[in-house]
Structure formats: C-alpha cells, structure tokens
Structure 1
Amino acid sequence: MSYDNLSGRTAVVTGAASGIGAAVALRLAESGARVALLARRADRLETVVAKIRANGGEALAVVADVTDGASVQAAADAVHAAFGRVDLVVNNAGVMLPNPVDDGRIDEWQRMLDTNVTGVLRVLRAFTGDLVAAAAEGRTADLVNVSSVGAHVVFPTFAVYGATKAAVTFLSQSLRAEFGPRDVRVTNVEPGLTDTELGTHIEGEELREQVAGMFDGMGALAAADLADLVGYVVSRPRNVNLRQVVVQPTRQV
C-alpha cells in the first residue's frame, strides 16, 4: 500500500541500508517523498537507492555514522545541498547487543548508548531547524523515532538495550512537549519481534536459541510491516499526531 499524499516532502531515514530503515525508505519514496538514506554501508545504501530509482522515485545515498557528530553534520550538509530543507526525519539506526549485566561488557553498553541514544540526538540536532522551519511555513513536519517494546517489557539479558530504548521513548514524549506547540509532530514507534539484522548481532549460542524460540513461538513482523505503519503515521492530516504506536505480532503478548 502506498500513501499518495507524501508528494513534495523530503525525508531522512537513518539505518537505511537494511531492515526497517531500508523498508521505510522504499515506502516513503513509493509514496512520493524524496528520500535521503543514511547508513554506514555504502554498497547496501546504493542497492536500496537503485531500487527506489528503478521504481521512479528520487533518493540520495549518504554514508554516515550516527555515533560520530562530524559524520552526521557532514551528512546533513550533503542532504541540504542535494534536496534543501527536510520535513520528515525517521530515527531508525540502532544496535542490539544482549548479554547478562554481570558480564560487564562496557564496550557493548557504550556502543548501544552511542548509537541508540546519542545517535538519535545527533540526528535531531542536525535537522531540528529544518522541521521547525517547515512547520512554521505551514507544511507538515514529522519526527519519527523507532524505539522498541523493550522500553517497557523486561527481557532477561536485554537490560541495557531496553534501557536505551526506554530513553528514546521518554525522549520522544518530552520532545512532543517542545515541538507540538510549534506544529512539529513527534511519533514514537515501539516494534515487537521483527525480522531484521539486529538478531545477527547476538553473541552466544544460548542467547541465539532463546531469541529463535521466541520467533518460532510467536512469529515476527516483517520490516515492510513497520514501513507500512510509518507511511500511515506521516500521511495523516497535519493536525493529527499519532504520538505513540506499539506494534507487535498478533501472538506476542
């Protein structure tokens, strides 16, 4: 399903080389938006951009690392040079590295914090001016943050990951208090079990089997399901803000 009223909008999607980010970029472009795809893997980005262009869409691949402030700013400069002002930002880049807390994996904790929390803030800083200005001109402006049901549902060994996503959820709520009065919509999306590359980051056979058992027992959402949801959220009338959306496989409780 495509949403035809995104024509004329300019979007930035992070973590767009695969999974949810790639699917969201494809869906937004299919619905008429110009899309800048940000991620670290140039080859994967170009593959997604090629698909968009083959379908008649307009897209730009921008290599960027959300854990690096200079990289994010350079990406913003490239987007502005190519497309001008942005009115739709999807903060999707994330990493999931579950391990028991008593393993003391500070390296993993720091990576998740840098990507899942500070990365969101870096992207926000780079494009806040665009969103506020677009809204002030009477245009629709959206910030969509992809969090997780792990923000409020406890999964053993996922404590730090869940904490980073809880930060994103609370940040989204707080940002809406700042941006809503200026007509910038903020939406926090919390997916449940979703079939993406995040599962490949899991170390240890026992943890992998635990997650595989959850997928076998409950099934999983596809990245395209999340893309369809994001497309719906950002295509609502300008005065309608779907502020918090939790989406799970039907069997996940």
Structure 2
Amino acid sequence: MTRTIQQLFDLTGKTALVTGGSRGLGLQLAQALGEAGAKIMLSSRKAEDLEESAATLKAAGIAVDWIAADCSKEADIRGLADETIKRMGQVDILVNNAGAAWGAPAEDHPVEAWDKVMNLNIRGYFILSQHIAKHSMIARRSGRIINVASIAGLGGNPPEMTTVAYNTSKGAVINFTRALGCEWGKYNITVNAICPGFFPSRMTVGTLKALGEEKLAAHAPLGRLGDDEDLKGLCVLYASDAGKHITAQWLAVDGGVSSVTGG
C-alpha cells in the first residue's frame, strides 16, 4: 500500500550522525532530523559546545548524544565512527558537515592552510563515509549520506572574495557526492549534497563583513540570506524514504543566487 507523505518523511527509529553539529548549519540539520524522529549523535571538536547544543535539542524533545572529535584527524574520525556505532547500534544517516574556510589571495595563499581546508572539507568526508558504510550500511544494504557542500563549489567569486581553497574543496565535495552515489547505489545507499548559499554563521563572518549582509542579500532573487529553517526540508527529504529514489545529486539552497547570470 502506498504510504502517506507523513509516513514517507518519518524518521522514527532511525539514527543520524552529524559532524560539525554543535552550531550553525550543522545544528540546524541535526534539529531537522531529530524533529522528524531520528535519534541524533552530534560531533564537533569542543565538548562545551556539544553539551550546550545537546541540551537545546533535548529541551525540544529530541533524543541526542554527543562525541567530541576532530574530523581533520584520521584517528579521531575512525574513533568517532566506532563509538557512534557502539552507542547507537547502527548509523542510518550520516551528515558530513564539519568544515573550515581560509581567506587569502591565491598568489599568497599558505600551502599549509590549503592542506588544512582540503583535509577537513573533503578528505575527512571520504574517511568517515567509507568507515560508516563498511561497518554499518553496506551489509544492511541501507543508508543515507548527506554532504554539505556550498554554492562556492559551483564556480568562482567576486574579486574581493579570496577563498580559493574553500571553493576548490566544495567543488570536490559535489563531485565526490556524484561519484560515491553512483558507486554505492548497488548497496541501496543514497549520497546527496546540500549547497547552501549565504547563511549568517561563524564560517561566513569574514565574507559578511567584507561584502556586507545587505549587498549579499541583494544578489539573491529572494532578497535575503538563509535562515535557521531553510536547510531543514531538504535535509529530511534526503534522509527519509520520501527521497529514496534521489542519489548522486546536489541542490543549491541559496535564494536563487547561483541561477543569476554573473552571480
């Protein structure tokens, strides 16, 4: 019998690991999955941030636990994956969101900063996805992987924005999503990406300061920046059976910025 739309979006009984989940976009995604019924494992580097965010989710009636880990370090990534599986039994939904940015002109961009951004923003995504898939998804022939990319991965920037490493890493995330989704479809694992536009967050403080919120909002056909609700619907679509026939795809959530010629 065909399920109702409410049943298709229901995540009751599912488990989700969200990296970079203690604040900003990651916390918004974790809250969306929790509100849809999933049990949440939050992770980021700082325990105090995780405690605060977990308390916020618990107050909203969401089942949540947390593990502090640095997703730029392979040992931390594998430890996070193993401990999450140990505590939760399995991981149904993985949200790769932990990330870093670095602003510097390409001609003067420190190589060590390039490596830091690429290591966290794409290498970490691969290691965690591989580990979770091998130990929790492939044998069960079931899984949802959601990668947080960016509209920065779709092209270049205005001259005043000098984030070449960040743009490159997010472009890599988009094609990583395509390639992995194609390869792991045989295991019934879907892999999709969310490409946020400009949202007020610690990651975008420099950009917001350099260009101004009003100027950035003016670039969007909808005339505003993203808010604390704008990623929730797409996240739950990708994570739930409502999106079970969607894989190897990306979608921009940017108020239309990426569709504007020259935007």
Q: CA deviation at 1:153?
A: 2.2
Distance 2:173 2:26 in 1: 17
Distance 1:233 1:89 in 2: 11
Q: CA deviation at 1:4?
A: 5.4
Q: CA deviation at 1:216?
A: 4.5
1:101-123 deviation digits (Å, cap 9, x = unpaired): 11132232111111101111121
Map of 2:150 onto structure 1: 148
CA RMSD, aligned part only? 2.1
Tell me the secondary structure at the aligned position of residue 116 of structure 1. Answer: helix
Distance 2:240 2:38 in 1: 11
Instruction: Work out whether residues 9 and 242 of structure 2, in 8 Å CA contact, stay in contact via their aligned partners in 1.
Output: no
Distance 1:20 1:174 in 2: 24
Map of 2:209 onto structure 1: 208
Tell me the secondary structure at the aligned position of residue 67 of structure 2. Answer: strand
Tell me the secondary structure at the aligned position of residue 44 of structure 1. Answer: helix
Unaligned runs of 5+ in 1: none
Distance 1:97 1:124 in 2: 24
Map of 1:182 onto structure 2: 187
Normalised by the size of structure 2, how large is the TM-score?
A: 0.85
Unaligned runs of 5+ in 2: 1-5
Map of 1:221 onto structure 2: 226
Distance change >3 Å, CA 162–CA 196, structure 1 → 2: same
Instruction: Work out whether residues 72 and 119 of structure 2, in 8 Å CA contact, stay in contact via their aligned partners in 1.
Output: yes
The structure 2 residue matched to 1:49, chosen from 33, 41, 54, is 54
Distance 1:251 1:122 in 2: 31
Map of 1:173 onto structure 2: 178
The structure 1 residue matched to 2:252, chosen from 204, 222, 246, is 246
Query: 1:58-73 alignment to 2 at 5 Å?
Result: 58-73=63-78
Normalised by the size of structure 1, how large is the TM-score?
A: 0.88
Aligned residues: 244
1:22-49 deviation digits (Å, cap 9, x = unpaired): 1111111111101111100111111111
Q: CA deviation at 1:238?
A: 6.3
Q: What amino acid is the match of 1:210?
A: L
Instruction: Work out whether residues 20 and 224 of structure 1, in 8 Å CA contact, stay in contact via their aligned partners in 2.
Output: no
Map of 2:23 onto structure 1: 18
